[in-house]
Amino acid sequence: MFWAILSGIEGNLPAYKAVLKDIQRQPIRVEEIYILGDLIGPRPESEALVQYIRETRSHSTHICMGWWEEQLFNLHGLRRDPDAIALKEKYGAAAIEQLWNAVSRDSTDWLRGLDFGFFELDCLLAHGSTLGCDDELTPDTHPLTLLDRLLRSDANTLFCGRSGLAFQYQLPHSQITSTVKTIGTPTSEPVVQEYSLKPRQIVGVGNVGRTLDQASYVLYNPNNNKVKFQQVAYGENASAVSASRGKGFGSY
């Protein structure tokens, strides 16, 4: 069993097609494809990308919503930030009109039907985390914050795409001592408890469409927990770089 996990197509149809081609070219059979949001972005090609996915999506392709979808829903008054303050702060006022014009009402309705995320086996797959699509986890995020995101859903692995970064952050072993004294036990000894955790990890799955001519995604084997990072050159870079060769790490 193998999964391909990607995020952040951002309306870049050539990048998405290149990734699909790379998945098909793998020596192993990829049974499930997870797209962790940001199908769209503030670019006019977003509508065509959504249409393409709607027409070609198979039952083994699972899609959840991302930060850009949430911004679109905000513009339609369907989320908590109808004035699109977060979008304005991050990308400027022009992005509001660009995003509004990029996706039709029909496609917006379809995007609204997407899941927030997925929990498969012991893995949580979401754009940000259970906190929300805007929860941006990176290798520089405090390890206890990362651990918190895993423990909130009791997942062993969290795949996320908000940062656009490709990384594997493993927590092989964690321990801590808790000493509790309550009002009910004034004369007895405090209760001392040792906590330890089994290995957990957070995987940033990269970004498909943001960087011109260079897409990234992740292949995952749930049976042995191996993660392989894929970089796919396309467009003008396609002939210069042998796609996905020697760029990953680990083995299947």
Residues that bind other proteins (CB under 8 A): 130-132, 139, 142-145, 147-148, 151-153, 165-184, 186, 191, 193, 195, 197, 206, 216, 229, 231, 249
Nearer to other proteins, 92 or 143 (CB): 143
Cα–Cα distances in Å, from 95 out to 43, 70, 132, 160, 161? 9, 14, 21, 24, 21
Distance CA 154, CA 152 (A): 6
Cβ 56 to other proteins, closest distance in Å? 28
Instruction: Give 26 or 138: the residue with its C-beta nearer to other proteins.
Output: 138
Element (H, E) at 86: helix 85-91
CA distance 86 to 222: 35
SS3 170: strand
Give the residue with the Cβ less far from other proteins, 80 or 105. 80
Q: Which is nearer to other proteins, 107 or 207 (CB)?
A: 207
| Shortest Cβ 134–other proteins spacing (Å) | 12
Least distance (Å) between residue 175 CB and other proteins: 5
Nearer Cβ to other proteins, position 28 or 151? 151
Please tell me the distance from the alpha carbon of residue 215 to that of residue 7, in angstroms, as a whole number.
10
Kindly state the smallest distance separating residue 131's Cβ from other proteins, in Å: 7
Q: Strand, helix or coil at 125?
A: strand
CA dihedral (170, 34, 19, 71) positive or negative: negative
Q: Least separation, in Å, of the C-beta of 252 and other proteins? A: 16
Q: Determine how many CB atoms are found less than 10 A away from the CB of residue 226.
A: 14
